[in-house]
Amino acid sequence: MDKIIEPKVLKGFRDSLPEQEIRKKKMFKELEETFSSFGFVPIDTPVLEYTDVLLGKGGGETDKQVYSFKDNGERDVSMRFDLTVPLARFIAANKSDIIFPFKRYHISKVWRGENTQRGRYREFYQCDFDIVGSDSPAADIEILMMMKASLERLGIGGFKIYLSNRGILTRFLEINGIQDKSPEILRIIDKLAKIGKEKVKELLKELTDESKCDKILDFINPEGSFDKTLDKLITLCNGDNSETDRLKIIYKALKENGIEDYYILDPTITRGLDYYTGLVFETFLDGNRDLGSVLSGGRYNNLASLYTNEQLPGIGASIGLDRLIAAIEKSEDSKKAQAMCDCIIFNIDDDLIGALYKTAGEIRKKGISCEVYPENKKLNKQFAYAEKKNIPAGVIIGKDENESGTITVKDLIARKNYEKIKIDDGIEKIVSIVREVKVNGTT
Amino acid sequence: MDKIIEPKVLKGFRDSLPEQEIRKKKMFKELEETFSSFGFVPIDTPVLEYTDVLLGKGGGETDKQVYSFKDNGERDVSMRFDLTVPLARFIAANKSDIIFPFKRYHISKVWRGENTQRGRYREFYQCDFDIVGSDSPAADIEILMMMKASLERLGIGGFKIYLSNRGILTRFLEINGIQDKSPEILRIIDKLAKIGKEKVKELLKELTDESKCDKILDFINPEGSFDKTLDKLITLCNGDNSETDRLKIIYKALKENGIEDYYILDPTITRGLDYYTGLVFETFLDGNRDLGSVLSGGRYNNLASLYTNEQLPGIGASIGLDRLIAAIEKSEDSKKAQAMCDCIIFNIDDDLIGALYKTAGEIRKKGISCEVYPENKKLNKQFAYAEKKNIPAGVIIGKDENESGTITVKDLIARKNYEKIKIDDGIEKIVSIVREVKVNGTT
């Protein structure tokens, strides 16, 4: 006998078993339906691209994590490590076919050779949505509203979207003559939640004098409400300006839609990355801030500058799917066993296979998924199969039933039998058993 | 200014634009719903695996096409080139978590560095479904029925599933004492459709004597009906045997379901690959045989032998998605312009943004996708945007409308306006415009 190969999976990679995969597909479907309902359209890009196209001028931390290699044609190629760079490349390559403002979403896998000791995976999904080609406050509002709609569609109840405008901070630093320290200050502010106010002050003191430190600390300290915080920012910026005006417009629209309570103006939100220029936001689940932001993003003024001279402002957000899945898996709802099929027809007589499949077809017509057990095995074995797949309704068709045009329906949850009832009535019974389970779960 | 990087895509790879991606997602959704309705469950596996796990004892033609490289940890890794090898590896690795008989489907990308001159892509989708862990005729019947249901769900009308049983051919070759030539004979028979009967005979003559050639030619020549062909095969095999019995069971069940006309017994179907052992099948679209088989597969008696000593018989099928997409794209239905969104609210007054989004929310509640144009641009520019996205219904809300609690609805296909009607009536109007388009298309 040949030697067996150990069926091992690479470190940082994992199989997705049916239960996980069903849950993930349901999640993606809910997100896609939400995005589509806002007029967003899907795209896809190749998993492999030219390395110099993906990494651009490169040289950063990310580069070292990218899966790069020479293909059989000696081309330098890389697997995509995010969906933002491919979006920029896609837009530059397909400009004439794209309808601007371009509202697109993209849910797909990306790969990074990250350190798996930190609990990270090397293959994971990203889910991005962007509006590219518009600098309007309406685009900001739309993204903010779609963020809320997406999380609600996923059944995530308590969350808040914390937002700010990088332009206001920039203006404030200019007024105080410390704009040259902007990147360092941003990085320090970004750490506030982690290291606390005292430590932030200490770090700021290394950059500027005490009075300016205090001003910065005042700047990043949210007041009791969106309006009050905004008023303070206006004061600290010596009056209204285009950035604070934009926040006013955004907040007014949120209020007119009665959803303003989901949005917190929080000047500590800066998003470390350099390319954001306007609105920035992060989303935390109520009582679960430690999980980190589950939905973040912001406005950028030039997405595709690596690939085209055309200026393409936009705004985008990215869902932290792994974090969300972790949060959802902890919820009560997800602990309910999932039915992998609604109904099973047991096989007690091989001569009747044709009839079993015919009945299965009738049941499917009612929108009920239905499988036939493919072998005439002992019934307790077939029952065990049904139980493992959490199938709520069962059907038995023996010679008696087949001759009399009836079926025996088994409620596999309540463990009740409805013997030899007419096929139509039996199917109705199955529909009601399945409906019951969809409402109450199988356990 | 920095030098621009050309946003080029690798040869054999391609971007998927929204219109293509929407079509593809719809197709996958229809397939997944069909598979689920038969109780099949989805799985996923990593795109990257250890090279020795994916290629096994390897050395074949496929190996040269595989994207293999050393990762940053000096591991030999490869991108998956099909979904069958990963299924075998998955089953061996997750045996204790899998519920057998295991009915799974998997729709995902695979990569092969094929010669692009033959019109092949190096990144493409595969769609496989299998029942693993059952050797019963019922599993064969189920796969055959699900094949038909899948194609019908995709709106593909005319097709025939050509099937045979490799075991019968094996038996026939044994009876005639030419089983040692079996691989060569299989390969020749497989070419019949391409090279014709005369050429097949010529090639067979190189292997065996004339009388046996004639017998083989008689064997592979289908008679007028399933039953007649089967009778001939029984005669040529010196009487009934387990393989012909199985075909009888299958055909009886197909007849009992009234779908036997979709299935043709065709002994020329052999499927070149070595691992099939029983039923084999291919599917051709009526009047489009040149396209090749769009849905093929067969029964194997030991899927995961590379990875486990456990015997795992099964049956599986694979949809030729690229071929099917090509066929669907040629159809009349696909030429209809697709609405990328159902309804658009035009922006003629920035002060009303909040109200526009509120109305959009009301419209979405009716299951109508609705977007708001994010900028107060000239209306003809906004109309052009709506036209490019094939949006059938438009809404205008100006100061008048906002004050009087009305909206103006535009039927963008019929070019009719319904001015300043009450919001509820307006939404009803939008629903009916969208419904009309879903039935008749936009053009």
| B337 Cβ under 8 Å from any chain A Cβ | no
Confidence class for position B119, pLDDT limits 50, 70, 90: confident
B residues 100-129 near A, CB within 8 Å? Answer: 101, 103-104, 109, 111, 113, 123
Percentage of chain B modeled with pLDDT above 90: 80
From A42, A92, A375, residue closest to B18, measured CB to CB: A42
How many angstroms separate the CA atoms of A90 and B8, rounded?
Answer: 9
* pLDDT for the residue A408: 98
C-alpha dihedral over B155, B160, B166, B171, to 10 degrees? 160
User: What 3-state class would DSSP assign to B37?
Assistant: helix
Mutate to test the interface with A, among B30, B54, B83, B99 (most CBs of A within 10 A): B99
| A259 Cβ under 8 Å from any chain B Cβ | no
* pLDDT for the residue B148: 98
* pLDDT for the residue A288: 87
- CA of B308 to nearest chain A CA: how many angstroms apart? 6
Q: Are A113 and A65 in contact, with CB atoms under 8 Å apart? A: yes
| B64 Cβ under 8 Å from any chain A Cβ | yes
Write out chain A residues lying below 8 Å of B341, CB-based. 36, 39
Write out chain A residues lying below 8 Å of B344, CB-based. 39
How many angstroms separate the CA atoms of A121 and A362, rounded?
Answer: 44
| B75 Cβ under 8 Å from any chain A Cβ | yes
Confidence class for position A403, pLDDT limits 50, 70, 90: very high
* pLDDT for the residue A332: 64
Lowest mean pLDDT among A48-57, A116-125, A348-357, B258-267: A116-125
DSSP calls for A48-95: EEEHHHHHTT--SHHHHHS-EEE-TT--EEEE-S-SHHHHHHHHHHTG
Nearest CA in chain A to B387: A99
- Confidence (pTM): 0.94
Question: Average pLDDT for residues B227-244, to the nearest whole number?
Answer: 96
Q: Is the pLDDT of residue A2 over 70?
A: no
* pLDDT for the residue B186: 86
* pLDDT for the residue B400: 96
Q: Is the pLDDT of residue B273 over 70?
A: no
HEC profile of B318-386: EECHHHHHHHHHHCHHHHCCCCCCCEEEECCCHHHHHHHHHHHHHHHCCCCCEEECCCCCCHHHHHHHH
Question: Average pLDDT for residues A40-44, to the nearest whole number?
Answer: 98
At A172-214, the pLDDT tens digits run 999 999 999 988 898 898 888 889 889 999 999 999 999 999 9
- CA of B227 to nearest chain A CA: how many angstroms apart? 17
Mutate to test the interface with A, among B375, B389, B391, B412 (most CBs of A within 10 A): B375
Question: Average pLDDT for residues A352-380, to the nearest whole number?
Answer: 97
A128-164 as b/e: b if 16+ CB within 10 A: bbbbbbbbbbbbbbbbbbbbbbbbebbebeebbbbbb
Asked if omega into B374 is within 30° of 0 (cis), the reply is: no
How many angstroms separate the CA atoms of A329 and B6, rounded?
Answer: 43
- CA of A194 to nearest chain B CA: how many angstroms apart? 31
Q: Which two tokens stand for residue A57?
A: 């001028």
B118 class by beta-carbon count within 10 Å (0-12 exposed, 13-18 middle, 19+ buried): exposed
Residue of B103, B91, B136, B90 lying closest to B317 (CA atoms): B103
Q: Determine whether the interchain pair B32/A25 forms a contact, defined as Cβ–Cβ distance below 8 Å.
A: yes
How many angstroms separate the CA atoms of A249 and A233, rounded?
Answer: 15
At A233-278, the pLDDT tens digits run 999 999 999 999 999 999 999 999 999 999 999 999 988 766 799 9
| B47 Cβ under 8 Å from any chain A Cβ | yes
User: What 3-state class would DSSP assign to B157?
Assistant: coil
Nearest CA in chain A to B113: A72
Write out chain B residues lying below 8 Å of A121, CB-based. none
Confidence class for position B443, pLDDT limits 50, 70, 90: low
Question: Average pLDDT for residues A73-85, to the nearest whole number?
Answer: 95
Q: Determine whether the interchain pair B307/A4 forms a contact, defined as Cβ–Cβ distance below 8 Å.
A: yes
Size of interface A-B (CB pairs under 8 A): 311
Q: CA angle A257-A258-A264, nearest 5°?
A: 105
Write out chain B residues lying below 8 Å of A364, CB-based. 37-38
Q: Determine the distance from the C-alpha atom of residue B365 to the mean position of all C-alpha atoms in its chain, rounded to a whole number.
A: 33
* pLDDT for the residue B289: 86
Higher pLDDT, B328 or A352: A352
HEC profile of A219-278: HCCCCCCHHHHHHHHHHHCCCCCHHHHHHHHHHHHHHHCCCHHHEEECCCCCCCCCCEEE
Confidence class for position A397, pLDDT limits 50, 70, 90: very high
Percentage of chain A modeled with pLDDT above 90: 80
From B46, B88, B101, residue closest to A14, measured CB to CB: B46
Q: Are A108 and A90 in contact, with CB atoms under 8 Å apart? A: no
Q: CA angle B252-B254-B255, nearest 5°?
A: 65
The β-bridge partners of A77 are A50, A69
Lowest mean pLDDT among A92-96, A111-115, A117-121, B193-197: A117-121
Write out chain A residues lying below 8 Å of B69, CB-based. 67, 69-70
| A57 Cβ under 8 Å from any chain B Cβ | yes
Strand A370-372 versus strand A343-346 pairing type: parallel
How many angstroms separate the CA atoms of B117 and B120, rounded?
Answer: 7
Write out chain A residues lying below 8 Å of B340, CB-based. 39, 41, 99
Q: Is the pLDDT of residue B376 over 80?
A: yes
| A58 Cβ under 8 Å from any chain B Cβ | no
From A113, A145, A309, residue closest to B357, measured CB to CB: A145
Question: Average pLDDT for residues B410-434, to the nearest whole number?
Answer: 97
Confidence class for position B86, pLDDT limits 50, 70, 90: very high
| B59 Cβ under 8 Å from any chain A Cβ | no
Q: Is the pLDDT of residue A443 over 80?
A: no
Percentage of chain A modeled with pLDDT above 70: 96
Write out chain B residues lying below 8 Å of A338, CB-based. none
A residues 370-389 near B, CB within 8 Å? Answer: 370-372, 374-376, 385, 388-389
Number of CB atoms found within 10 A of residue B335's CB: 10
Q: Is the pLDDT of residue A103 over 90?
A: yes
Share the mean pLDDT of chain B: 93
* pLDDT for the residue A334: 63
Confidence class for position A317, pLDDT limits 50, 70, 90: very high
Number of CB atoms found within 10 A of residue A331's CB: 12
Could you give the residue ranges of the DSSP H alpha helices within A297-378?
321-330, 332-335, 353-364
Write out chain B residues lying below 8 Å of A48, CB-based. 10, 13, 67, 111, 123
Question: Average pLDDT for residues B21-35, to the nearest whole number?
Answer: 96
- CA of A207 to nearest chain B CA: how many angstroms apart? 31
| A242 Cβ under 8 Å from any chain B Cβ | no
Q: Which two tokens stand for residue A33?
A: 């339906």
Lowest mean pLDDT among A73-82, A271-280, A293-302: A271-280
From A6, A25, A353, residue closest to B138, measured CB to CB: A353
From A97, A254, A257, residue closest to B361, measured CB to CB: A257
N-term to C-term CA, chain A: 46
Element (H, E) at B399: helix B399-404
Write out chain A residues lying below 8 Å of B38, CB-based. 360, 364, 369-371
Share the mean pLDDT of chain A: 93
Q: Determine whether the interchain pair B358/A256 forms a contact, defined as Cβ–Cβ distance below 8 Å.
A: yes
Q: Is the pLDDT of residue B439 over 90?
A: no
Q: Which two tokens stand for residue B55?
A: 């290629």
Residue of A22, A341, A394, A399 lying closest to B101 (CA atoms): A341
| B14 Cβ under 8 Å from any chain A Cβ | yes
Helix axes B18-37, B321-330, angle to 10 degrees: 120
Q: Determine whether the interchain pair A43/B17 forms a contact, defined as Cβ–Cβ distance below 8 Å.
A: yes
Q: Determine whether the interchain pair B14/A46 forms a contact, defined as Cβ–Cβ distance below 8 Å.
A: yes
Residue of B237, B320, B245, B313 lying closest to B275 (CA atoms): B313
Higher pLDDT, B36 or A329: B36
